[in-house]
Amino acid sequence: MELPRIKSMSQKSSDKKSLLIVSGILAAIGLALFGYLMFYTAPEEVMERVEIIAVTEAGCIGETVDGFAVNIGQCNAQEGDFIVAPVDQKVKDRAAAMNPTN
């Protein structure tokens, strides 16, 4: 009959150190991904001249000079008017990536 092996104190502390290192690496990866996500989704608004193409309950829909439709929120304009409004450049970049023109 074999006796059960008892872990020594040094083996227990080494297991804890390994667990701590792995947890630290996973936490660092998670923080890096969270930071990237915040950078990617944060708006980058610039003032741009848009033509109002529709006025809806959700706000005014404007078309930028380069042909992107954007919702600029509530406005006091009529269809066909040109106004200067904040436009999120990252939304335009994503729309261009999803709808390439050939």
Question: Would you write out the chain's pLDDT as a tens digit for each of its 102 residues?
Answer: 565 665 555 566 778 888 999 999 999 999 999 998 888 778 888 999 999 999 999 889 999 998 888 888 888 889 999 999 998 888 888 888 887 765
Classified as helix, coil or strand, 24 is: helix
Per-residue model confidence (pLDDT) at position 10:
57
- Which residue pairs, CB below 8 angstroms and at least 24 apart, start in 4-12? none
Domain ranges, ordered by start, for the chain: 9-42, 45-98
Classified as helix, coil or strand, 21 is: helix
Per-residue model confidence (pLDDT) at position 94:
81
pTM: 0.57
State the CB neighbour count (10 A cutoff) for residue 29: 10
What residue type is assigned to position 61 of the chain? I
Per-residue model confidence (pLDDT) at position 8:
57
